[in-house]
Structure 1
Amino acid sequence: MTLTADLYFSFRSPYSYLSVGRYRAMSEKFNLTLALRPVYPLAIRQPDFFEKNHPNWLSYTIRDMMRVAQFHDIPFGAPRPDPIVQNPATREIAAEQPYIRRVTRMGQAAARKGRGIAFAHEAGQLIWGGQPDWHEGDHLARALERAGLDAGEIEAEVKDQAEELDAEIADNQDALEKSGHWGVPTLVFEGEPFFGQDRIEMAQWRMEQRGLTRR
């Protein structure tokens, strides 16, 4: 029996990146099908969110995500550039967001073909693994190909079906909130949400209770 679950994911979320490779490995090891459900980050959906955080939030988050990467031996570095276009002095989020919209639409197009998790992992390694200018040249095209996709086909969908892809991405966000959570990464299995990169083992434990077996 093959179990199924949904992974809600943002390409701007460091914790999403720190989880997706481990979830990909889980799906390859066990009889498990994971569907990527990409969402736009809080910077797009709620631009003032980060202004309301405690002053210690940013410094702690940076420290924590770096040690998570070290603990799991995951390549990690600040995105170059940030997927979100933002004024570094005022923190104002720009109206035009070409980077995050393009890569998120790619993720949704990949998800349509059942290769979303693989692409999210490959693209995540570009964005968060230290690849400079990850948004230029053929970096994303090669990530699509490594994920088993036709890069030209996906690029055409992103260009020609932007509105349809955005509607699907909005549906992902609605489904995430209906599951009982709102943030990423969140794995939803049989209606139960598991939020955070530190809930992967617990999600596996629950699946094992439901009959998860090795391939």
Structure 2
Amino acid sequence: MPFTSLVKPRLAEIITSRGLQNARRGLHDLGRRARGTQHEVHYFHDASDPYCALIAQILPAFEARYDTALRPHLISGPPSEAVPDPKAHRENALKDASRLAQKLGLDSPKADGVAPEVNARLAAHFGDPDFSQHLKAISAAQWAGRDLPAGKQSDPTASLRAGDQELRTMGHYLGGMFYYGGEWYGGVDRLHYLEDRLQNAGLGTGPLLVPPPELVFDRQGDTPKTLEFFFSFRSPYSYLAFDRVQHLADQHKAELILRPVLPMLMRGLPVPKAKSRYILRDCTREARRLGIPFGRICDPLGAGVERGYALFDYAESDGRMATFCSAFMRSVWSEGADAASDRGLSHIVRAAGLDWAKARDELKSQTWLRRVEQNQNRLQDVGLWGVPSFHVDGQSIWGQDRLWAVADLLGTESKQALPGFG
């Protein structure tokens, strides 16, 4: 077995361990104490981002609840390499933010676009002790399509430039992000992780402002539907979703259509290093919360993916397509199996209940290329580009953290405690 196949999974296991996370947090807090500074939460606001419209609604409540200094930053938007398909990204963000707002009891962003003076109005209030209140009022008018409330303006150029630079320096690429003590928290979706951390540090108490939606698998309704599931073997988020999607489809007696696609890098789409780093840490905490094994990783990018995809026809002919896909992702994302090697792939094949001798004869098959190409075209047809993605009842949904939305479309109303934001 190649040396890297032995070492890299162990290193990944250390990098994703709770022990290293706690050590990092301890070092950050030690540095803060040495500098004699208070706890600071940085927030990066992109006025054109509909997800930021949701954050603006809860920011005053967050600031009031926690004994931290809120450091807001204005940014001008994500770099082009972080958004492979800007038009599809924009359309999906508006739909998804509206869906999420309804789930959380927030106002949905209805207007599309940014009034030119929004950043000028926000920049004028930088340094004000009630900045979050101004942000809430200005953002509410902006996304409702109303006139902005009367107030002062300031040239936002310097603020935007400084915010963009700070975001790059601190290691991220998107707006709607919170940063505290060396870790990033993406929007309202991940705010509960930040709240947990702040409460454990004794910086605030009370029920979470935005608890994670509780996915309920109880079946309701008698009209079976078709659920298309787009995924890739190289996507850790696809791994976190795979078995749960199967269970959800089973509960609803839905027809589950598996649509594997190539990883973004193998499709020629850029994936910035900052994005890869954030995904790894985010998947680690999501897996931990969901009770899914994760962390001993052997990245299957390239030969590992191709060899796995070459076995689709064999697995499908044996009635074990879903079992094989599940075994593959579990093995590479939690057991350190090297799918590019015969030793690793044979382990995966046997874990799926398949015959390695038969599988080995299929490794030179190229029929998977056509299947994947058709799935990628279908993914584009439904208005998406990344995975894991879902299409059900005429609607497209993106992300393993949107299974509650899939459940709603299949007929189960997932539960969510609705907070009050004042």
Distance 1:24 1:142, change over 3 A: farther
Kindly indicate whether the alpha-carbon contact (under 8 Å) linking 1:144 and 1:151 is maintained by their aligned counterparts in 2.
Answer: yes
Q: Deviations over 1:128-169 (max 9, x none)?
A: 01334344345534544554555544443443x31x221111
Distance in 2 of aligned mates of 1:27 and 1:155: 31
1:184 aligns with 2:387: yes
Distance in 2 of aligned mates of 1:177 and 1:149: 32
**Which residue of the partner structure matches residue 371 of structure 2?**
168
1:206 aligns with 2:418: no
Kindly indicate whether the alpha-carbon contact (under 8 Å) linking 1:7 and 1:36 is maintained by their aligned counterparts in 2.
Answer: yes
**Which residue of the partner structure matches residue 117 of structure 1?**
322
Kindly indicate whether the alpha-carbon contact (under 8 Å) linking 1:11 and 1:17 is maintained by their aligned counterparts in 2.
Answer: yes
1:70 aligns with 2:275: no
Q: List structure 1 segments (4+ residues) > 6 angstroms apart after TM superposition.
A: none
TM-score, scaled relative to structure 2:
0.41
RMSD: 2.5
**Which residue of the partner structure matches residue 305 of structure 2?**
100
Distance in 1 of aligned mates of 2:283 and 2:338: 22
**Which residue of the partner structure matches residue 79 of structure 1?**
297
Partner secondary structure for residue 184 of structure 1: coil
Distance in 2 of aligned mates of 1:180 and 1:108: 27
**Which residue of the partner structure matches residue 26 of structure 1?**
248
Which residue among 126, 141, 159 is the counterpart of 2:331?
A: 126
Kindly indicate whether the alpha-carbon contact (under 8 Å) linking 2:323 and 2:352 is maintained by their aligned counterparts in 1.
Answer: yes
Distance in 2 of aligned mates of 1:158 and 1:179: 31
* Structure 2 counterpart of 1:5, one-letter code: L
Distance 1:108 1:44, change over 3 A: farther
Kindly indicate whether the alpha-carbon contact (under 8 Å) linking 2:320 and 2:352 is maintained by their aligned counterparts in 1.
Answer: yes
Kindly indicate whether the alpha-carbon contact (under 8 Å) linking 1:39 and 1:104 is maintained by their aligned counterparts in 2.
Answer: no
* Structure 2 counterpart of 1:105, one-letter code: A
**Structure 1 residue ranges without an equivalent (≥5):** 85-96, 210-215
Distance in 2 of aligned mates of 1:207 and 1:74: 24
Pick the structure with greater CA Rg: 2
Distance in 1 of aligned mates of 2:377 and 2:284: 30
Distance 1:194 1:157, change over 3 A: same
1:156 aligns with 2:361: yes
Distance 1:190 1:112, change over 3 A: farther
1:197 aligns with 2:419: no
**Structure 2 residue ranges without an equivalent (≥5):** 1-222, 413-422
Distance 1:149 1:182, change over 3 A: same
Distance 1:76 1:5, change over 3 A: same
Kindly indicate whether the alpha-carbon contact (under 8 Å) linking 2:237 and 2:387 is maintained by their aligned counterparts in 1.
Answer: yes
Distance in 1 of aligned mates of 2:316 and 2:404: 24
Distance in 2 of aligned mates of 1:155 and 1:28: 31
Distance in 1 of aligned mates of 2:407 and 2:355: 31
**Which residue of the partner structure matches residue 93 of structure 1?**
none
Count of residues in Structure 1 that have an aligned counterpart in Structure 2: 190
Distance 1:43 1:109, change over 3 A: farther
Distance 1:66 1:23, change over 3 A: same
Kindly indicate whether the alpha-carbon contact (under 8 Å) linking 1:35 and 1:114 is maintained by their aligned counterparts in 2.
Answer: no
Kindly indicate whether the alpha-carbon contact (under 8 Å) linking 1:108 and 1:168 is maintained by their aligned counterparts in 2.
Answer: no
Kindly indicate whether the alpha-carbon contact (under 8 Å) linking 1:185 and 1:196 is maintained by their aligned counterparts in 2.
Answer: yes
Query: How far is 1:177 from its partner?
Result: 0.6
* Structure 2 counterpart of 1:75, one-letter code: P
* Structure 1 counterpart of 2:300, one-letter code: P
* Structure 2 counterpart of 1:110, one-letter code: A
Distance 1:114 1:153, change over 3 A: same
